[in-house]
Chain A
Amino acid sequence: MSLERKDEHDHKGWMESRELTPIESVYLTVLVWLDRRLRVVDYLEILEDLYYKVNMQMPKSHTEQYNLDNKFWYWYPLYALGSFSTVAYIVAAISGALLGFYYAPAAAAADGSPTVAYDSVMLIMGQLNLGYFLRSVHRWAAQIMVAAVFLHMLRVYFTGSYKEPRELNWLIGIVLISLTLVFGYTGYLLPWSQLSFWAGQIGVEMSLSIPLIGEWVAQLMFGGFTLSQATLQRMYILHVFFLPFITTAIIAVHIGIVWMQGIAEPH
């Protein structure tokens, strides 16, 4: 048995068996020549085969079965919000990794002059090629992710997609939206600007206002009761180490459960 792929047709043979005009035979010869070298058709045939195999396994959806599309179609765009937030997360991850090459989480120079962290952000914004663009992409991705995650939650709520057997995924979603907000908050503090600093102050005071465990939470999250290098460093490690691992893992579980259970259909 030869490994060489067998040709389904003896091109020369059948072409001679027909009365083709010279232009037609040249045309066909050229296209067959291209076909035998580029194999585009083979790949398209694989895709076609895949398409039919995938679709053969799909039962009629509930909306198709009961012909609900005419009443429900305007919800369909909102079913993209979950994917949309995932895409925003990936964009933020990539741009954030690149920003990490230039950012330094140091709050030195407490004598009133700008800190190392703030200076590194200024360097990214002012000196670095495409730095302004990079930080803008990261910021917008973050904003969009928060918005998309929130709207995704509204969609799930108003279509009743959280109902049995999907309660667990709803709860995981609650955890994810919280983690998204923590992501946003920790990233907000990283430039160590006035805005960041006083947002951090608010965070410390909010932690301290928690009954019983407030002081412990402030110590754990902010590294003390006043803002310092420890605060910035904790925010940095939360933002670039803890949260990425935890959030990525939970997103994987979240999407995995959707994959297993299927998308909730309207009733």
Chain B
Amino acid sequence: MTEDQPAGTEGGSDRRDVVVPLRVYKAVTVFSTLFAVLSVVAGFILVDVATQRASAPASEIDVPVGIAGIACILAGTVVYAFSTRFRTEEMGKSKDDAT
């Protein structure tokens, strides 16, 4: 049960899968999605504020806030992408669970 699929095995797939109990899988799905949605939305709001809804001339763009917004969007994306490596028993390709 440890490290079900070592990186780089099986047809060049370098996806890492971590099998966790169902309850933990639910927590991962719910909270990472929640976090990702909130931070992406917050990121877009920050970018909007920084650029005055994309209407500000280049000289008046608030650079730190804009970068913070993009960072927020990226953070949400990373968290979501990271969450996809967790799965629970009986998920994914059945032949993987059989071994």
Contact = CB atoms under 8 A, between A and B. Distances in A.
Interface residues of B, number: 18
B3 A41 contact: no
Contact of A19 (B2, B20, B31, B85): B2
Nearest to B85: A24
B49 interface: no
B26 to A, nearest CB: 5
Binding site secondary structure of chain B = helix
Interface string A40-53: 11001100000000
Contacts of B24: 9, 11, 28, 31-32
B58 interface: no
A267 interface: no
A28 to B, nearest CB: 7
Contact of B31 (A9, A20, A35): A35
B30 A41 contact: yes
Nearest to B4: A18
21 contacts: A8-B21, A9-B21, A9-B24, A11-B24, A14-B21, A17-B1, A18-B1, A20-B18, A28-B20, A28-B24, A28-B86, A31-B24, A31-B27, A31-B31, A35-B27, A40-B30, A40-B31, A40-B34, A41-B26, A41-B30, A45-B26
Interface of A: 8-9, 11, 14, 17-20, 23-24, 27-28, 31-32, 34-35, 38, 40-41, 44-45
Given A18-B2, A19-B3, A41-B30, 13 more contacts: A8-B21, A8-B23, A9-B24, A14-B20, A17-B1, A17-B2, A18-B3, A18-B18, A31-B24, A31-B28, A31-B31, A32-B24, A34-B31
